[in-house]
Structure 1
């Protein structure tokens, strides 16, 4: 007969429990999601950084004077304010047209009310904006004032 072993000693009989397999690594558990995240996430992150830099860094700033002849809100999905300013050499002779975009609604409403009058617009030039969703031109008007004639 088997005698019970004294307390504190271990039995030499084999155990019947089966050891669990080691847990899989994070990469093995998400083998499909990680490449998909890299393929979609990195270009999206790059495009976001490019857009932020292009819209916040100004290549040049300036001021133009003339008459606002066209000004409208355009776009199917992304609505932007687009306009054209004509400069005059002499009364009645157009010399140059300046197409611009306005991102600020308050500036757009002032420009809308001054349409047909002589104005001076302050602008910033933003090069390489990746999509026309932010504006059709690279010139973004930041301020406007009426010039008395």
Structure 2
């Protein structure tokens, strides 16, 4: 009986560990988004995380004569990337992100985690800065 209980508990623990890894730590997808950096701030009660929003314009609406804007909300875990974004408010940015199936409080409010900035363009001077 004791061996059976050990096997059942081991299976439950391994199943739970697999679920947590798959939902919160496995990268589901990655890609790039570009648009105007509308909002970027550090916030939170217990875990202070960087949160931002990029406005993507020019997408067709459901009706032929409509143009709608699309918002991309994201979190940032890297201090270096966060400092670059804090100086880029109102500029056109191209961001690389990783998508997870779930958000963790210490990683941010969003499933999308920006890990690098590909480029920043000032819309007034059209000066483009590319990051490596």
Q: Fold conserved (TM > 0.5)?
A: yes
2:35 corresponds to which residue?
66
CA gap of 1:95–1:109, structure 2 versus 1, over 3 A, is same
Q: Deviations over 1:58-97 (max 9, x none)?
A: 101010100111110010110110001001229xx76111
Unaligned runs of at least 5 residues, structure 2: 1-8, 60-66, 127-132
Shift of 1:55: 4.6
Who wins on radius of gyration, i.e. which is larger? 1
Partners of 1:47 and 1:118 in 2: how far apart?
Answer: 40
2:57 to 80, 88, 91: 88
**Alpha carbons 1:123, 1:141 under 8 Å: kept:** yes
SS in 2 for 1:134: coil
Question: Within 5 Å, which residues of 2 pair with 1:17-96?
Answer: 46=16, 50=20, 53-89=22-58, 95-96=69-70
Q: Under a length normalisation based on structure 2, what TM-score does the superposition of the two structures give?
A: 0.66
**Structure 1 residue ranges (4+ consecutive) displaced by more than 6 angstroms after TM superposition:** none
**Alpha carbons 2:33, 2:94 under 8 Å: kept:** yes
Unaligned runs of at least 5 residues, structure 1: 1-37
Higher mean C-alpha displacement, 138-147 vs 53-62: 53-62
Q: Under a length normalisation based on structure 1, what TM-score does the superposition of the two structures give?
A: 0.59
Q: Which has the higher strand share?
A: 2
Partners of 1:47 and 1:79 in 2: how far apart?
Answer: 26
Partners of 1:61 and 1:135 in 2: how far apart?
Answer: 17
How many positions carry a matched residue from both structures?
104
